[in-house]
Amino acid sequence: MNKQLMAVALAAAAAVTAAPAHANSVALTAGAGWVGLDVDSVVAADFGNGWIDNTDGSAETFTFTIAAGQVGTLTVLDAGYAGDTFSVTNFASALGVTSSVPVGTYDGSAPVGYDDAFADPSFSRGVFQLQAGSYSIGGSLLQSVQFDGFDLDATTGAVRLTTSAIPEPSSTALLFGGLAAVALLVRRRKSVNKI
């Protein structure tokens, strides 16, 4: 009987270990504005500090593709409580971190709006320039505000993606040529006025 129970327990453990972890992937659209993110170690399925889907605690990533001939700007923002910072990843490899801010203390206030947090330097943010390609952006709390001397390990934030066309080399050369011509005319006019 003990051998049967042991076999059932081992089979159940193998099934749990072999089951892939659920993750939520959110399609991020360029120019669509801020898209919210959450961190809460109590709700997180792994009790960690990664970005999560608040409905089931699974890990959350933001996916998008930047087309050839385009460049992207990804902005990652803390909007929960001033004093949090994030580590940001692309396909689980380090992309960078958000700006350094002093560690804050949770005071019971509600999170602020994304634009208000972006305008306030006490909220951490990161701006990442991206080339054409596919991305899967995730993140986790690097620094958390304090609550009664302990890390709160919960916050909200947002990501925003914008894209623009890469300037054509001929257009850039034409721009610099035009600027040089204007500078030459200004210089010539100054020398004529001296006479």
**Average pLDDT value for residue range 23-29:** 91
The two structure tokens encoding residue 195: 């006479």
| Mean of the per-residue pLDDT values of the chain | 85
Instruction: Tell whether 7 is covered by a domain.
Output: no
Instruction: Tell whether 99 is covered by a domain.
Output: yes
Instruction: Tell whether 121 is covered by a domain.
Output: yes
Q: Rounded to 5 degrees, what are φ and ψ at 38?
A: -130, 150
**Average pLDDT value for residue range 41-69:** 96
Structurally, how many domains does the chain consist of?
Answer: 1
Instruction: Tell whether 16 is covered by a domain.
Output: no
Instruction: Tell whether 111 is covered by a domain.
Output: yes
Whole-angstrom CA distances from 5 to 19, 103, 145 are 21, 50, 46
pLDDT digits (tens, 9 = 90+) for 66-105: 999 999 999 999 999 899 999 999 999 999 999 999 999 9
CATH number where 182 lies? 2.60.120
Indicate the pairing of strand 23-27 with strand 59-66. Answer: parallel
Instruction: Tell whether 160 is covered by a domain.
Output: yes
161 with 34: CB under 8 angstroms?
no
Instruction: Tell whether 145 is covered by a domain.
Output: yes
Instruction: Tell whether 165 is covered by a domain.
Output: yes
Report pLDDT for 171: 60
Among positive and negative, which fits the CA dihedral 35, 41, 43, 46? positive
Q: For residue 180, give its domain range.
A: 23-189
Rounded Cα distance between 176 and 91, Å, is: 39
pLDDT digits (tens, 9 = 90+) for 135-185: 999 999 999 999 999 999 999 999 999 999 987 666 666 667 777 777 777
